[in-house]
Every structure is written in structure tokens, then in C-alpha cells.
Amino acid sequence: MKIITASGERPRVLPWRGDAPQACHGQFPPLQGKKGGVIWPDRVEIQVEVAVVGAGLSGLTAAYHLRDRQLVVLEAGSQPGGVCLPGSYRGQPYPAGSAYFYLPEDPQSLSWYQELGLNPEKARVSPPASALYQGGDWYPDCFSAQGLVSLPFPPRVKEELQRFAGELAELEETWEPLGSEVLSHPELDQLSLKQYLEEKRGFPPELTHYFDPYCRSCLGAGAEDVSAWAALYFLMSEFSPASRTAAFPEGNARLVRALAEALPRSVLVQHTVVDLKNTPGGPHLLVWDARGRRHFRLAAAVVILAVGKFVVRRLLGPDCGFDLKAFQAFRYSSYVVAALCGPLTLEAPGFENWVAGEPAFSDFILSPRAGSPGGPRVMVLFAPQPYPKGRGRLLARSPGDQARELLEAVARHFPGLPAEVEEIHLYRFGHAQVVPYPGFLSLLKSRVKSRKGRIILAAADLEGLPCVEAAIIQGEKAAGQAREILGI
């Protein structure tokens, strides 16, 4: 398919952004030969109380709560943020990754945003927060009691779906909060969402397909591959009448920027931790400085590893005390975020718009939501890659191939839109989010500990749930554990 814009030119496709695989892949030796690589410098070059490894949302949250201590934050990438990245087209900001959050109900959590100079109430998304596009028709408010009645299902299924939504609201009252050491209703973790819906609830497969784009986008895999517990936990937030979605124009990049700017020392970007030694005096880190093209040794009283467990298992040795085999149970999805930029005229009712039956992408956000004639506008496509084999395919794809596939997919649903696209910005995330497959959350609660000695683990994957709130809670928890170790 050849796409020509209204001006008679092809859309300009920018190079990949997002993850920079070479930042870590070129530095980590194979797992089986982990200790046989770089020679450690004898001299400690940097000594601090706390070293935070990873400047995603979890690491920056931990650092923020420890900003009164002697602290350093190390980030392998070229900028802080992890998957919370900002994008811009002709002055129009858009989320290039993590896009929204839920306004907390408790005043303490709300005041945390205000303390950072953010006004979350002003970021509240006007309804409808979600809309479903299926068969050429829009179904606004597709995750609300009011919107469910308009969905294209038989009356009996809609009645059951409304009952299901009501039961989720009741179930939420007995659910343990994020950060808990126990798992409420563990039996639900042994089933996939598909099994729960079709075998336990007796819903038809059409309803599973209705939830599938949501599962792929928010949980990293389809309804047949994710734990019913995890899916129901997420759906509680969607169906709850008390939930309030909030979003900044550049997504959650605004939050990580506020956290980074509040630190007394800038994040050391392009600094990759490639090894860790657990010495009697505290952990030592071997750091690769990509700018200076050299390794150096860093000593800390406490180390917070706010990175995915696929990295942690390459850093920790058997002397660190963690159950290293448990880290092999972590599985991750791969993701593409594509910004289709131009004077777009497409109108969609929701803030987040779900497209049923489309394998190439799951949902999209328009930025701004309502455009002005001829003004710059961005359609942010969220394109989870096929689980579990999406990462290899993603690393092998050229930006041009990816752009062509997504434009063809958009044309299937909105035929006139590709001709309005002037630029395509592509972001790839190889280990985008942890996948809570059936049984994983139970294993996580029973076998994975977040602290051993002076080494603390953080990151959203320790909750087993890929969401902003999980990352924030893990960062806060890690900061509290660091203070216990330091005796303050």
C-alpha cells in the first residue's frame, strides 16, 4: 500500500526512539559467563549513601523520597523516564508512552502530586474516558454502567455484563490494596481471564474479544494469557463509578520530569550498571559511562535496583541472598507507540479509543482531543506486539516497515486518515511491561523478596501489575526500606 499525503508527498518516518537496546545489550555478558568480563577498577570513584539504579517512575519516586540523603541516580538510557516519555509535533505535545493515571482518592496521595507542583485535578479527563470502535460504529463509555447497555451484544449478555460490573464494584471492597504482601482471592490467579469469563461465568467468546484489546494494551497479552486476578483488578478501576482518569498533554512524562527536577543532583544518564559486588562494607557497582567510554567503581551504603528483573538477574550473584531462580518467572511484553502527525480531522468520542478486532494496534489517543482546522494534531497509536515472541520481531523491524503496517491498519478503519499524516514518530519498548500470566502473582507473593541486606528491589514488576500506581508504590516502599537500613 502506497500512502500519499494531501500535499502529494509520502509521510516522513522518523528513526526509532524509545528503548536504546545497545545501552545494555552491548555491556552485559551472557548469563552463564556473567563474572568473566570486565576487570573492576581497584579504586572507588564515587561513594554515596544511596545509589538508585534506573530512572523510571519507580526509581525517581524512590530518589525523591530520599532527596535529603547523599544520593545518585544512574540511568542507562539517554533520558530519565523509562516508558514515561514525551513527544512533540509542531509544538503539540503528546504522550510517547505511559499516557494517564487515576486520581487518588486519599488526600495524602493527592498532596504528593501537589507537592511536586502538579495539579492533578486540572488534568482530569472529561467523559467519556473510553470508547469502543467496532464494525464502523462508536460505543462511548464502553466501561461504564451507562455505556454497557449500548454495546453490540444480545440483551441477555448485556444484562450479565452489567451484573458482572456490579459484582466487580462489590469485590473491590474486599480486595487488598497495591503493596500488600498477600493476594486476595488467590484462586482467581490460577485462571486466565478467558477461562474465568467463559468457563466460570458462562459468557460467550464475543465478550472475551471485547476485553481483548484492553488486555493486550494494559496487561501486555491477550485475555487467554493474562491472570483473571490481574485483569479483574484493572477492570475494577475502569468500571468503578468512583474512578477518575487524569492525563497531562505529554502523558506521565510530566510526572517523571517533576520528580527529576526536584532532585538535588541530576540523573546520570548513559550510565549502565553492569555488575554488582556485595562487599562487607556495602554494595559496590561497576558502571559503564557511555559518554566517557570508561568503567568506574561506585560504593553505596544502600543500592535500590529499580529496574526490570531481566536486568536484576544479570547483576546479582548467589552471595546476594535472593532467590535467583524466581526471577526467571518474570515475563515481559514488547510494545510500539506510534505518533501519526498532521492536520488530522478524525473525531473520536473517548479520551482512549479502543478498536475491536485489529491485530496491529489496540487503542489510540488524539492530541489534542478536539482539533482546530489545519492545526497540528497527533493520533497516538498503542501497538502491543504479539506475546510472547514480539521482541525479536520488533528488534528486527525497520521504522519504514512498522509505519507501513500501522498505516495500513488505520486505513482499514478510517480510510481517509492516512492521507492526512505528514510525519510518523515511532517508539519501541522491548521489555515494555511485566505480563501477569496465570499463577505469576501467587509465585511473586510467595517467593520474591524485595530486600536482602543492603540491596533493595523496586520497579512496577514487583507488583506484577504494569501500571503507574504500582511503580509509585514500589518506589515509596524502597525509600522507606532504605531509611530503615540507614537508621533514619
Q: Are 477 and 59 in contact (CB under 8 A)?
A: no
Question: Under CATH, to which class is 161-240 assigned?
Answer: mainly alpha
| Number of DSSP helices (H) and strands (E) in the chain, helices first | 14, 21
**Could you tell me the pTM of the whole model?**
0.95
Q: Are 100 and 255 in contact (CB under 8 A)?
A: no
What letter would DSSP give residue 200? Answer: I
Cα–Cα dist 87/352, whole Å? 17
Q: Are 338 and 403 in contact (CB under 8 A)?
A: yes
Q: First and final CA of the chain: distance in angstroms?
A: 63
Closest CA to 411 of 481, 477, 476, 358: 358
**pLDDT at site 24:** 66
Angle between helices 468-486 and 57-65 (to 10 degrees): 40
Q: Give the ranges where 273-428 is alpha helix by DSSP (H).
A: 309-315, 390-396, 399-413
Amino acid at 221: A
Cα–Cα dist 91/79, whole Å? 20
Cα–Cα dist 365/477, whole Å? 32
What letter would DSSP give residue 38? Answer: S
Reading the block at residue 279, the C-alpha cell is 562487599
Q: Are 195 and 187 in contact (CB under 8 A)?
A: no
Helix%, strand%, coil% for the chain, nearest 5: 35, 25, 40
Q: Is 468 exposed, middle or buried (0-12, 13-18, 19+ CB in 10 A)?
A: buried
Q: Please name the CATH architecture into which domain 1-18+86-144+242-249+332-434 falls.
A: Alpha-Beta Complex (3.90)
Reading the block at residue 70, the C-alpha cell is 547523599
CATH number of 38-80+267-328+436-486: 3.50.50.60
Reading the block at residue 473, the C-alpha cell is 508504590
Which residues make beta-bridge pairs with 275?
286
**pLDDT at site 273:** 96
Closest CA to 88 of 378, 463, 390, 438: 378
Which residue bears the cell 526467571? 328
**pLDDT at site 32:** 44
Domain spans of the chain, in order of start: 1-18+86-144+242-249+332-434, 38-80+267-328+436-486, 161-240
Reading the block at residue 95, the C-alpha cell is 504522550
pLDDT tens track for 105-127: 888 888 999 999 999 999 999 99
**pLDDT at site 106:** 81
Residues of the chain with pLDDT under 70: 1-8, 21-37, 488
Cα–Cα dist 398/447, whole Å? 40
Cα–Cα dist 254/113, whole Å? 11
